[in-house]
Each structure stands twice: as C-alpha cells, then as structure tokens.
Amino acid sequence: METLGAALRDPACESCAALLPEWGRIKRDLASARGNLDALHGTHFTDGDVIDGFGHLVGLILNLSTIAEASATGVIRENADVQNYLLLARLAGLMREQAGLISQQFAPSLVSRRALTPQEIQSVSATLGKIEQLRQLLQPNVALLTKELQADYADMDQRFFGQGVAMLRTLRANGERPGGPGITLMQLGEQYGPLVLPINRFRDDALALASRTIDDSLRWHLIYLIASGLLAILLTGLLVVMIRRFRTRVIVPFSEAQRFILDIAHGDVSAQLPAKHYGSEVAKLFAALDVLKNNDLQRRELERERRRLISELKTMAETDPLTGLLNRRAFESRAHVLLSDKRNTDAFVSLMMLDIDFFKRVNDTYGHESGDKALVRLASFCREAVRSEDVVARFGGEEFVILLRVREPAQAQVIAENLRLRLHQETVTSTDGTAFRFTVSIGIASKACAGDGALDVQELLRRADALLYRAKQNGRDRIEASTLG
C-alpha cells in the first residue's frame, strides 16, 4: 500500500492525484479490518467471527482493482502491443482474484468441518466457471506471445489449470460429504497456494513487457521529435532562401514589366523589356510550395487517422466484442446518464437481469461456438425489445442487464414476458447442424425515480440478482419481480 501511495503521489503522473482519496479510504479500511482480526486474539470468538473478519479483507480486493483500471487509462493507446500485454495482465489479475476468492468460499466449511451448503457449492461452481472463461479469453493470444510469456502460460496451464483446478473440483465433490472436504484451512493454503503462484508470474511478466514496450516507444518518439525539429529548421532556412529568390526572380521582373507597361501607356515607344534572362525559378518555387502543401495534407490525414483509432479503442473499451452490447464498465456511465435525464417523465426505473438457463449444458452439448451463437441471438432480442434510449449490457458469461424508464413496473414485466415467450419460438443451429432452443430466467427490480436522479443502481442490481436467483430456484424459464420502497 505504501508503494502504491508513493506511485500515486508522483508529480509526473497528472491523473494519479485524483486516485489518492480512494487509496486513503482503502488503506483505512484495511487497517480497520486487520484491527478487527487482531482484537480477536486472546478473546473468546467463534468460527463465524474469524470468517467474517477475513471476508472484510477479501472485499477490499475489488476496490484496489478499480484503482488499477483507472490508472491503466494513461498508457500509450496507439501501441497495439502495449494494449495486448495490458489486456493479458488484466485477465491474469482477474483470474488471480477468482483463484483467491474460491479459497474463501471453502473457508466456512473447512473451519467448521461441515459439508458445503448448496449455496456454497453454487458459489464455488460459479467461480470455477469464471476461471474457465478467463482461460478461454487467454488461449487465443497464446500463439502470439513472446517465448517468456509462453513459458509462463505453460507453467500456469500445468500447475494451476491442471493440478490446482483439479484439486478444487475434488474439494467441491468431497465437500458434499457430512464431514466436509476433509482438510483444514491451513492444509488448503499449503497445498493450493503454490499452485496459484504461476498466475502472479504471468501477470507480472506481462506488465513488465508492457513497461519495456512503452519505454522503447518513448525513445522512438523522442527520436522522431528531434528529427522533426531539425527538419523544421531546415525547412525554415529553405523558406528564407526561397523568399529572397522570389524577390529577385519574380518581384523585380514583375516590377520592370509594370514600368514597361506604364511607359507604353504614356506613349514611350522606346521602352524596352529588360534584356536579363529569367529562368524557371518561379515555377520551381510553386513546386516547392506544392511539396509543403502535400506534407501538411499528409500530416492532417495522419491526425484524422489517429483520432479515428482513438475513437475505435474507446468503443472497444466500452463494448462487449461478442455481442456488441455495452460492457459492465460502460453500463455504469450510461445508467447515470439515463437516470439524470430530466426530459424523461416516466415515473419508475426498472432493471432486468437475464441469465440463460443451463448455459453450461449448451456449451457442453453443442460446443462453445454454438453457445456464442445463443448469446448473440439473445443480445439481438434484448436490443429489439426495448427503446433506443434504454441501456442494454452484457455483464459477463450468459448474464445480461437491461435498465429502462417505465410508467409503471408492470410495463417492464410485459417487456420481459414478451422476450421470454419469443425465445420459445426461436431455434439456434449448432455447428454440426443440430437445432436447439434455450430459455432465460429474469429478475426485475423496480423503484420510483428520485427527483434529483440520485437513484442507487447498485441497489437495483443487488435486488435484481436476488430475484434472478429466486427464478432459478423456482424452476427457471420464469420471471421474478418486485418494486423497492
């Protein structure tokens, strides 16, 4: 934390100062969480007290992730290699978070020496699914990695995805027995901890490679800057010479020609044109100016191309690449805009959370490519079911979110029911030509709009997620809805 704080105070980083208040808050929360655990020493405490104390510590990881994401926006966006390395590092960081989170999910059962509850089993399975999704995102880039990162990935693939994930699956299976998984929390840390280390190495090496690439890019930019300065000096000198030559080869001849014309106009028939011969210097001057114009046109074209690329990168950062919907980060900013729009007179805000039923079964039966087709089809239906000003986003995996303003909560339920029934009429063709259908479960949380637009979207998300979970429990392919307040 102190190293991070020193980096944020670096005067060379113009955007880091804005992150210091968040860093200070996290540091205080960390000290408070550790203080709560230290206070248990020498006193009577329950297993739940210890597990809850460590839960507060684990919860701080997501807050630190937000600082990392905000800091990453200051990198050189024009360099595709840097973006690729940072993406790999971010995926590895997310994988490390999930790998650490899953051990906390086992903790209550291991400490209490009891069987895993159905909710704990579901949480462990969901985390394993997220880890597998992150692995799928990493795999397409493996062939393009450097030898160093390929070696790191091979080690991570063997130790964590091979031994580590197999160990977790075994613990999950054994956790259904009355006595639980059969090992202590300390034994889990000793056996599982070393298997997670390859993720850290892959992440750190990707970040180091991004840093080296940025340094190389900065050196080349400095070279280009110096060369551009020298070129500007040379062009300035050339322009001075051209001006002098223009005066002697163009202005003077035109002046003599004017005098000759005036002499003729006054009847001086003895007026003669100057005998001095003038060559093609004037034409050469205009040719040189044409070269300068072309250089300026090329520079402007490069500037337009740069702005276009920056705009595309911004769109990529806010868009889910598979479905074309907004991602979670973009959803939060668009949700703020929707809630702050005073022109909209609808009295309620409804948030739908959709999840494809038995999506893992679809992937296992028909293949991941067919699963992707189902996701794309559902995304298309979501866009068609709502208005252009409503916010539709993919939160990850098979989970989608729709935020919309409605006159009354029942309007959102009608939209959700139409979407659910439409899926009953649609089929998806798998890669082997087999047609299949899929259904969705939907949770809808609604709340009356606040006059100042200060509606808590996170509260709606939590409630909609709970309603979605209830729909899953009550048989799937159904809608659960409620109105807050």
Average pLDDT, the chain: 83
Rounded average pLDDT over 359-377: 93
User: Among 51-65, 115-129, 318-332, which is the least confidently predicted range?
Assistant: 51-65
What's the distance, Cα to Cα, between the start and end of the chain in Å? 40
Give me the pLDDT at residue 51, please: 72
Q: Please check the confidence at residue 11 and state whether its pLDDT lies above 50.
A: yes
How much is the pLDDT for 38? 84
Average pLDDT over residues 259-287: 59
Nearest to 378 by CA among 389, 481, 136, 395: 395
With helix as H, strand as E and coil as C, how does 355-370 read? EECCHHHHHHHHCHHH
Structure-model confidence comparison of residues 317 and 391, the more confident one: 391
Residue 469's pLDDT is 95
- Looking at the predicted structure, is the pLDDT value of residue 5 above 80? yes
Neighbours of 33 (CB within 10 A): 18
Residue 6 banded pLDDT, cuts 50, 70, 90? confident
**What's the average model confidence in pLDDT over 8-33?**
84
**What are the sequence ranges of the domains in the chain?**
2-222, 249-317, 328-483
225 has a pLDDT exceeding 60: yes
Q: What are residue 331's phi and psi, to 5 degrees?
A: -60, -40
Percent of the chain with pLDDT over 90: 36
Alpha helices in 139-271 (DSSP H): 147-156, 165-174, 185-246, 252-265
Residue 298 and residue 304: Cα distance in Å, rounded? 10
Return the minimum-mean-pLDDT range out of 122-131, 245-254, 443-452. Answer: 245-254
What does DSSP assign to residue 478?
Answer: -
Which of 387, 393, 394 shows the shortest CA–CA distance to 346? 387
Question: How many Cα atoms occupy the beta-carbon half-sphere of 454 within 13 Å?
Answer: 1
Strand order of the β-sheet with 391-396 is 391-396, 399-406, 348-356, 440-448, 479-483
CA distances to 28, 77, 119, 228, 429 from 19, rounded to whole Å, are: 15, 20, 36, 36, 48
pLDDT of 285-333, one tens digit each?
343 444 444 555 566 677 777 777 666 666 666 788 899 899 988 898 8
Taken as a whole, the chain contains a residue count of: 485
Give the lowest-confidence range in 14-23, 254-263, 332-341, 413-422.
254-263
Fold of 328-483: Alpha-Beta Plaits (3.30.70)
- Can you give the pLDDT at residue 68? 65
Q: What integer pLDDT is reported at residue 347 of this predicted model?
A: 85
Segment 130-146, tens digit of pLDDT = 999 998 988 887 778 88
* pLDDT score, position 105: 85
pLDDT for position 354? 94
pLDDT at 292 (0 to 100) = 42
Quickly state the pLDDT bin for 62 (edges 50, 70, 90).
low
Rounded Cα–Cα distance for residues 412 and 444 (Å): 8
Closest by Cα among 385, 362, 384, 360 to 444:
385
Q: What is the pLDDT of residues 148-176, one digit of tens each?
A: 888 999 999 999 999 999 999 998 998 88
Q: How far are the Cα atoms of 25, 51, 52, 343 from residue 37, in angstroms, in the given order? A: 19, 10, 9, 50
Say what the pLDDT of residue 310 is: 65
- DSSP labels for 146-183? -HHHHHHHHHHIIIIIIIIHHHHHHHHHHTTSTTTTSS
Contact 435, 471 (CB under 8 A): no
Q: Is the per-residue pLDDT at 252 higher than 80?
A: no
pLDDT at residue 368, rounded to an integer: 92
Residue with tokens 């059962």: 109
Report the pLDDT value the prediction gives residue 239, as an integer from 0 to 100.
92
